[in-house]
A = this chain, B = another copy of it.
Amino acid sequence: MKSVDNLTLADQVLMKFQEDIVRGDVAPGSKISESALATKYGVSRGPLREAISRLESRGLIERAPNVGARVVSLSYQELIELYQIRESLESLACRLAAENMTDEDIKHLKALLHEHKQDQNFKDGTAYYKQQGDLDFHYCIIYGSKNKKLIHLLCEELYHLILMYRHQFSNISKHPQKAFTHHQRIVEAIEERDGELAEILMRRHIQKSRTVVETYFENQNAQES
């Protein structure tokens, strides 16, 4: 799917570094030394600066002129703001998907859902697969919208931030079966080409996961006090 090795060094560093940030290997809020990272990834400072520059515009890094860059560290408030945006954009994507997905696409989506059902029946513990499955589902719908700019916004600019936080907080939904039911209903709506309903269902689905984040933080605050 991804064309091979005619990638620039800056692009390779970008991907590696982004992965490291999302996985939490480099802590949020930690300062970034250009020369240190350059040697770490085995490149000069030129390509590295380009990678930093792009990660900055993706919101994963904050930079101040003449001072340096540091990995972003979202506050609770900012995370909620992020979810508001995601809610708006991904419900839009879902409506467009109901309108624009090909029958092939829908078949693929249903297969994905069926696969998750299997996985879940005898193994609804291990978080990794569920998370990956959830991701696949959402990506599939986003791409189904056929809106290139929207796909870029969600997949390249927003989702990495969300994933970074998911990883950091091990924020796996406590209600996998509920999430699965949501997914099922969304697919039904898409299958019936009911964009309006699909949009509403997706909005609620994400609202729900936002609520999970909110209660997580409330509990954390309660523990602290």
Contact = CB atoms under 8 A, between A and B. Distances in A.
Contacts of A59: 149, 152
Interface string A139-162: 000000001111011000100000
Q: Which secondary structure dominates chain A's binding surface? A: helix
Nearest to A96: B84
A175 to B, nearest CB: 26
Nearest to A58: B57
A81 B152 CA distance: 12
Given A54-B57, A58-B57, A65-B6, A81 B150 contact: yes
Interface string A66-91: 10000000000010011011001101
A14 to B, nearest CB: 10
Please tell me how many copies of the chain the complex holds. Answer: 2
Interface stretch (A45-53, A116-124, A176-184): A45-53
A8 interface: yes
A222 B194 CA distance: 33
Q: Count chain B CB atoms within 10 A of each CB in A84, A85, A149 and give the residue with the most.
A: A149
Contacts of A66: 6, 8
B50 A85 contact: no
A13 to B, nearest CB: 13
Contacts of A7: 65
Interface of A: 6-8, 11, 46, 49-50, 53-54, 57-59, 65-66, 78, 81-82, 84-85, 88-89, 91-92, 96, 147-150, 152-153, 157
